[in-house]
Amino acid sequence: MTANGPLGRYEYSYHEPMNTAAPDSRLRSWKAIASYLGCSVRTARRWEADEGLPVHRLMHKSQGSVYAYPAELDTWLHRDEDSSTKTAAAGKDERKSIAVLPFDFIGADSGSAYIADGFTDEVIADLSKIRMLRVTSRTSSISLKSSQLSARKIAKSLGVGLLLEGSVQKQGSSLRITVRLIDPGSEDMLWTDKYQGDLDDVFSIQERIARDVAAQLELSLSGDDEARLKSRDVDDVDAWLYAAQARQEAFRWRADAIERGIGLLEKAVELAGERPVLLASLGRAWLMCREAGVDLGPAPIEKAKDCAKRIAAVDPQAAVGLQLSGWIHYAEGDVRSAVTDLNAAIHADMNDVDSMNLLVNCYLISGRVSLARSLTDRVRMLDPLTPLARCLPGWADSLEGKFDEAVGPYREMFEMDPGNPMARLFLVWILASAQRNEEAIAVAEGFTDETAGSLAGQVAGLFAKGLRGETIEGDGGLSLDAEALAYTSDIIPRLLSQAYALLGQPGLAIAWLGKAVERGFINYPYMANHDPLWALLRDEPGFRVVLRDVEKRWEQFDG
């Protein structure tokens, strides 16, 4: 059979989804056991064979059957929790924890202020090379720029025991760097030093700071630490300056800024050669060009693929190259390949928070919530002040039907970045899912005139109409630009599908759901059992067809 919709033709053959509900507390099939665990049937069988998953069998005249008790599965799932908690605590005691606050820029040339941010990034990178140091990620550190909080409050929010702050003074080509190590408990200065040199000395100064901090903390550097500190991703100063400026441009998230960033990174590569870190930044800038709606054609992905290929030619195991490949696969809807590359990237760099964030999302949209939760605590420890890190536990809770518990993290994300239209849209969605309709409508009505016409604003407007019991006509009124941008990931198609379900538009809802599945959303347990918005489509044959397709993809996914 073929269903027609505004997104084209969706081919399917009709199958009624199986009902795996049991009349008592037992889970009576491999499918029900796997659904409860949030994994594929293949993985559940492997866990029984290799790791003692508690599955029982009954033998009948012609064949056998399996069943399991949820309580026993829960005990098995958490069997190592106490020991792992103790191990984590012990590891935390053994390692010093530190955050590098954004260095201040001192100088008349405000156009060179990006040098201080770039210097901050490099000091964080060098300190992260020391195994006995736990260093807060750059995104959380940069978020504290111009913060007026006390050292004690900053350290508490970051979960660290020490703070490093400083300043970069530039006069012509001369640099004067001042650093201070702070005990946040007493707010005493434990150590301070000054470093002088020219721009050409910037890399040696960064390395000296890392070594001096380690000495002040009485940390012995291993041979691997020494090798990592001596290695340098970019050793051309001009190329480094171009890359630092490009990163600042990327934060603006505007078409002109992203294009300038791409130009700067291309200059950096021309100067420094095929350096993986520069090529990876260039590839991500091209993907950002697509994500921001600057170019929705195939060119950005092809450009990013070219960067990944060039990295592989230099170092196929480079963490930044594996991360870029993961982003490319995700952009193409190939979530399984994204998971493979992102796991490899994290194995190569255990502090790679960007890869962890994307990997968590890939696990969640694939119905592997337990695997995602194993990473969320580490993300929150390394990157505690970014809205995404605060929200991840709520995203996991929502996918298990715990909508009330999920509201808090989503509200926290929104309050950390209230001007972000996507943060507002996500809060609208979770409130609607928790059936807190009046709150959801109020948040949806909070879009400004400037953001109401954005893609997030339009989708939130559809949610508000549905929650008010209003109807829509035709194709739903989504602008052509917004509809084109909606295709770039699984997120907006999923939300549009749920909004149209609320609006009583099953054709549109099912069509957008099909697009979300194509982009990688295959969380069958959530779709079949938990989501109250898609529950409105349960009697629609087209929804059952998509559900059956998702079930197959979910079972075949081996994360």
Section 145-163 average pLDDT: 85
Instruction: Give 52-84 pLDDT, tens digit per residue.
Output: 788 876 644 444 577 887 777 877 776 554 444
Section 492-515 average pLDDT: 94
CA 519, CA 348: separation in Å to the nearest integer? Answer: 27
Is residue 88 scored above 60 in pLDDT? Answer: no
The pLDDT assigned to 3 comes to: 36
Q: Tell me, letter by letter, the H, E, C secondary structure of 237-252.
A: HHHHHHHHHHHHHHCC
Q: Quick one: tokens of 197?
A: 């040199």
Treating both helix axes as pointing N-terminal to C-terminal, what angle do 421-433 and 491-502 enclose, rounded to 10 degrees?
50
Neighbours of 456 (CB within 10 A): 22
The pLDDT assigned to 20 comes to: 37
Higher pLDDT, 290 or 310: 310
Instruction: Give 250-279 pLDDT, tens digit per residue.
Output: 666 677 788 889 999 999 999 999 999 999
The pLDDT assigned to 477 comes to: 66
The pLDDT assigned to 251 comes to: 62
* Dihedral over alpha carbons 280, 285, 290, 294 (to 10 degrees): -160
Is residue 190 scored above 50 in pLDDT? Answer: yes
Higher pLDDT, 14 or 215: 215
Q: Which helix (H) or strand (E) holds 10?
A: strand 8-11
The pLDDT assigned to 15 comes to: 33
CA count, 13 A, side-chain hemisphere, 27:
19
CA 356, CA 257: separation in Å to the nearest integer? Answer: 26
Domains of the chain: 2-77 (1.10.10), 92-232 (3.40.50.10070), 234-316 (1.25.40)
- Cα of first residue to Cα of last residue in the chain, in angstroms, is 31
Longest CA pairwise span in the chain (Å): 89
Is residue 334 scored above 60 in pLDDT? Answer: yes
Instruction: Give 431-448 pLDDT, tens digit per residue.
Output: 999 999 999 999 999 998
The pLDDT assigned to 252 comes to: 60
**Residue 505 pLDDT grade (very low, low, confident, very high; cuts 50, 70, 90):** very high
The pLDDT assigned to 412 comes to: 92
Is residue 552 scored above 60 in pLDDT? Answer: yes
How far, in Å, are 268, 270, 436, 453 from residue 405 at the CA level?
46, 50, 13, 30
The pLDDT assigned to 78 comes to: 62
The pLDDT assigned to 61 comes to: 43
The pLDDT assigned to 84 comes to: 42
Is residue 1 scored above 50 in pLDDT? Answer: no
Mean pLDDT value across the chain: 84
Share of the chain above pLDDT 90, in %: 48
Instruction: Give 8-31 pLDDT, tens digit per residue.
Output: 333 333 233 333 333 346 788 888
Share of the chain above pLDDT 70, in %: 86
The pLDDT assigned to 433 comes to: 97
Q: Quick one: tokens of 186?
A: 């007493």
The pLDDT assigned to 2 comes to: 35
The pLDDT assigned to 325 comes to: 97
Is residue 494 scored above 70 in pLDDT? Answer: yes
Section 101-105 average pLDDT: 89
